[in-house]
Structures are given as structure tokens and as C-alpha cells.
Amino acid sequence: MTKLFSPLSIKSITLKNRIGISPMCQYMSVDGFANDWHLVHLGSRAIGGAGLIITEACAVEPNGRISPDCLGLYYDSHIEYLARITAFIKKYGAIPGIQLAHAGRKGSSIAPFKGFGRSKRSYLTKDNGGFDIFAPSPIPFESGAIIPHELTIEQIHKLISQFGQSAKRALKAGFQWLEIHAAHGYLINSFYSPLANQRQDKYGGSFDNRIRFLIEVIDSVKANWSDEYPVSVRLSITDHALGGFTIDDSVKLAKILKSLGIDLIDCSSGHVVKEQSLPSNDLKFQIDYAKTIKHEANIMTMAVGNIDSAKFAAYVIDENYADIALIARTAIKNPYFAFNAALELGITDTITLPQNYTYAI
């Protein structure tokens, strides 16, 4: 029998199954505030049976948003509506997680559906509703993109503390899982990738210097978060580009993160530089990264990458690729993926819809 629907306990929480909803930007906020859209988007996936529901990238300061429409947790007043969402998710048996993020040089973008779509970014200048963007080095993500301001040491320290302040707010909002977004070329990733970081100070150059920002963010988050609840880190396991961060680098980093008390590595990849060369357009190859990190760094992992069927999700867990299978696009198409996967795999005792649904079917 598959382990996909067996509970997973980490620290004080227990996931009812190994299916998680991967973070997905909604571009539906005004000034970082969550609203009814987020309640329905996240709440419906909790009703749909997933054990873990992680919010979209949630910015720790206004300039850390990917677009002006992105979620944030930089005001105390952001807490109230998020608390309504976490209460709803918990009520229906899932664990609410938040992904804390800073967009770095990929900030001030236009929501994909308002611009050129997912395959090409478009940017907002300051006189057109955009905002200043910051990065370890003044290198734009691609030609034509906005040139980021190089962060000063004082600004770096302020950002590290802002991650901690947002973690404290996340706890107050009732989240029981915190993910640090250190992937996809956003700020943290652009510190540890040699392709985006050309600093000469203690935050650039050697491997140890490039990962320093992430380590200090983790310290700040952990000082403001609860030891009772898990912290995961999403990494771009490789840059898919010559001279970039490699799988071996990620194994080395994951071992360090484990020693710092990180509970799981969420294994994504790429999007650090425009000129990347993916092994395939079908992201299923990313599950291999989860397996490598899990076994070589001896830390729990989350796999993500076109996990599009019950059978494939079960395979990921049962063949020890990862401890949790995360789904994004499949969950857009089917918010009830977990419930339907259980039915398809013949599991009828461990997952149920809310009573007011089950009695009817």
C-alpha cells in the first residue's frame, strides 16, 4: 500500500498525508494584503484534501514583491486576514504554511497575465507603478530588465531583520510551517549563485561568502519563529548554466542547512539567469534532485515538478525520492487532487471530504 496517504510528523505538527500545495503567486493583492481570493484559493485546496498548503511568495518588504500585486507580510495589519485563512485551513485538517520571500532583481515585474505571459518577463518602471529593486550586484536579470541597486551592508542587515519580523508576524497569523524562498533567482538565490553575485565583500566571492546571506536570514527567521514548527528552504538545486550553482554545491549547502536546524529542502531548480538550459521542458526531472539531496545530505525533501497523477505522486514517495510531493499546476486544474488521488489508489479510510460533502456522494 502506498505511503502517500500515511501521516508525516515533523516537530509538533502532523501532516495527514504527503501531498502539499506548492507556492503559487496569485497577483491578486493590493499593498500586500490577502483578501477573499486568497481565502478561496488556499481554502479550497485544504478542502480538497492536501496535507500541507503553502501560500505564494510573501514579501518581507514592499520592494521585495515580484509585482505590485503580490502578497506581503511587512505590516502588522497584514496579519488579520491571513489569520482568517490559517484558521480555515486548520479547520479542514491541513497545515497552513507560508513562503517568505524577497524578489531581488526580479521585482517590479508585471503580473504575467497583464504582460507577456509566463515565458517572458515584463517590468514596471517607477513612473509606471513600479518600484526600486535591489540585488547583491547591479546586474539585470536579462537585457532590457531594470538594473538593480547594489545592496549596501546596512541594507543587507535591514533585510535580514525584515525576514525575522515577517516570521514573527507569520506565527501571529497562525501559520504552522515556514518556507524560506531561496530559489528561482530571487534575492537569496541571487546571493548564493555565482552568476548573479559579483560582490567583493563578505557576502560575495567564495561559496561560504555567497551562502552567508541565506544563513543569516535563517538565523533571523529562527529567532522569531517557533521551535515547534518546521522550516523548509526552497533551493534552485542547479542554475542549469555554465559556471553556475551545481547539484554538488546544493548537497554541500543542504548539509549546512541541516546542521542549522532546517527540517526539509524543497527541491526546485533554475530561473537564476535567462540563458538556462533545462534537461527537458517537462519538469519531472526535478524529482531526481529531491532524491539526491535526501540521500546525500540526509535531510527530508519535498519534490516538485509536474507531479500530475496519483500514481506519479505515490511513486515519488514510495520510491524514496522525497518525503512530500508538492503540486502546483495540477492543483490549479484540480483543487481536489488529493481526494481524487486517494479514491484512484483505493484509499478510502484516511482521507475524507468535509462531512457536508461526503454525505452527499
Give the separation between CA 29 and CA 44, rounded to whole angstroms: 18
| 56 is a site residue for ligand FMN (CB under 6 A) | yes
Query: What residues does 99 pair with on adjacent strands?
Result: 57, 179
> Which of 8, 25, 46, 313 is the binder for ligand FMN (CB under 6 A)?
25
> Which of 102, 181, 199, 294 is the binder for ligand FMN (CB under 6 A)?
181
Query: In whole angstroms, how close is the CB of 360 to ligand FMN at the nearest point?
Result: 29
> Which of 235, 327, 338, 342 is the binder for ligand FMN (CB under 6 A)?
327
Give the separation between CA 168 and CA 161, rounded to whole angstroms: 11
| 21 is a site residue for ligand FMN (CB under 6 A) | no
| 99 is a site residue for ligand FMN (CB under 6 A) | yes
Give the separation between CA 149 and CA 144, rounded to whole angstroms: 15
Cβ atoms of residues 209 and 150 within 8 Å: no
Strands 8-10 and 13-15: antiparallel
When CB distances to ligand FMN are compared, the closest residue is 328
Q: Is the dihedral of CA 287, 291, 296, 300 positive or negative?
A: positive
Give the separation between CA 58 and CA 99, rounded to whole angstroms: 6
139 or 328: whose CB is closer to ligand FMN? 328
| 317 is a site residue for ligand FMN (CB under 6 A) | no
Give the separation between CA 39 and CA 354, rounded to whole angstroms: 17
Q: What is the DSSP letter of 123?
A: B
Which part of the chain contacts ligand FMN (CB under 6 A), choosing from 18-26, 141-149, 160-168, 213-221?
Answer: 18-26
Which part of the chain contacts ligand FMN (CB under 6 A), choosing from 7-15, 80-88, 238-246, 304-312?
Answer: 304-312
> Which of 328, 343, 345, 353 is the binder for ligand FMN (CB under 6 A)?
328
- Side-chain-side CA neighbours of residue 293 (13 Å): 37
23 or 148: whose CB is closer to ligand FMN? 23
**Which of 12, 172, 4 has the alpha carbon at shortest distance from 98?**
172
CB atoms within 10 A of CB 235: 29
> Which of 330, 338, 339, 347 is the binder for ligand FMN (CB under 6 A)?
330
Give the separation between CA 231 and CA 106, rounded to whole angstroms: 24
> Which of 23, 97, 148, 244 is the binder for ligand FMN (CB under 6 A)?
23
Give the separation between CA 72 and CA 65, rounded to whole angstroms: 7
Enumerate residues 283-302 that contact ligand FMN by CB under 6 A.
Answer: 283
> Which of 268, 269, 292, 301 is the binder for ligand FMN (CB under 6 A)?
268
Q: Which amino acid is at 32?
A: G
> Which of 24, 52, 187, 233 is the binder for ligand FMN (CB under 6 A)?
24
109 or 197: whose CB is closer to ligand FMN? 109
Q: How is residue 288 written as a grid cell?
A: 531526481
Query: In whole angstroms, how close is the CB of 117 to ligand FMN at the nearest point?
Result: 11
Strand (E) positions, the chain? Answer: 8-10, 13-15, 19-21, 52-59, 95-101, 134-135, 149-150, 177-182, 231-236, 264-268, 300-304, 324-327
| 267 is a site residue for ligand FMN (CB under 6 A) | no
Which part of the chain contacts ligand FMN (CB under 6 A), choosing from 159-167, 177-185, 209-217, 218-226?
Answer: 177-185
Query: In whole angstroms, how close is the CB of 227 to ligand FMN at the nearest point?
Result: 24
Query: In whole angstroms, how close is the CB of 234 to ligand FMN at the nearest point?
Result: 5
What amino acid positions are annotated as catalytic residues? 186
Interface ranges with ligand FMN (CB under 6 A): 22-25, 56-57, 99, 181, 183-184, 234, 268, 283, 304-307, 327-330
